[in-house]
A and B are shown apart, each in its own frame.
Chain A
Amino acid sequence: EVQLVESGGGLVQPGGSLRLSCAASGFTFSSYWMHWVRQVPGKGLVWVSRINSDGSTTTYADSVKGRFTISRDNAKDTLYLQMNSLRAEDTAVYSCARASYYDSGGYQYYFDSWGQGTLVTVSS
């Protein structure tokens, strides 16, 4: 059974830093692209970042570019999100998601497994 378990959330002051982790099990972690998605309580899902299977390429939403860093340790089956210069608007539940793909006029990615998320609260 595929399992994704996030940890590392908590209360942090504006300008502070936090590192989230996502422990994966039940599948060959090193074969999949992984993503972070966040949800402000009461609002919708927002894509944050992605990393390819070997960690060599990354992409970020404009709202976090330059402040957040996605990484992975395939030996530990773990995905990370380093969040720096945190702002109040970064307050959200952060979830990791596994991406599967198929080739249909180019690779098409979708999220076939998700974690339940970890809450990050940025407040003084």
Chain B
Amino acid sequence: QSVLTQPPSVSGAPGQRVTISCTGSNSNIGAGYDVHWYQHLPGTAPQLLIYGNINRPSGVPDRFSGSKSGTSASLAITGLQAEDEADYYCQSYDSKLSWMFGGGTKVTVL
């Protein structure tokens, strides 16, 4: 069981908006450690989507956005596309456990 909690799955129709939550605690997100998000297609290398809670690396579409509040963070995908079907992971740092990932969320495009 991951210290960062994500919903196992979310789904949406093409064009819709979906959000993925990442809930931590006062020893990680709540302690001021930032949250980063990755997209992972099985069999391929994970790709950085969001770093520092809200920042998109160059090349990442602006359909992806991140936010953080208190002990939680969220990733939003607007204008959902078929190519967005993948696993998504949040990542942060914990003062007791070092680097850590959420359990992952599978996004399904209906």
Contacts and interface: CB of A to CB of B under 8 A. Distances in A.
Interface of A: 4, 35, 37, 44-47, 50, 59, 61-62, 95, 97, 100, 102, 104-106, 108-117
A61 B98 contact: yes
Contact of A104 (B34, B44, B100): B34
Nearest to B57: A112
B104 A44 contact: yes
Most interface-central of A47, A97, A106 (chain B CB within 10 A): A47
Contact of A114 (B34, B46, B87, B97): B46
Interface residues of B, number: 28
Q: Do most interface residues of chain A lie in helix, strand or loop, or is the interface mixed? A: strand
A108 B98 contact: no
A1 B98 CA distance: 29
B110 interface: no
Interface of B: 2, 32-34, 36, 38, 40, 43-48, 51-52, 57, 87, 89, 91, 93, 97-104
A50 to B, nearest CB: 7
A45 B89 contact: yes
Contacts of B97: 61-62
Contact of A45 (B33, B40, B43): B40
A45 B36 contact: no
Going nearest first, the 6 A-B pairs with the smallest beta carbon separation are A44-B104, A110-B36, A114-B45, A47-B99, A45-B101, A110-B51
Contacts of B33: 108
Contact of B44 (A62, A100, A106, A116): A116
A109 B99 contact: yes
A111 B48 contact: yes
A45 B87 CA distance: 10
A111 B102 contact: no
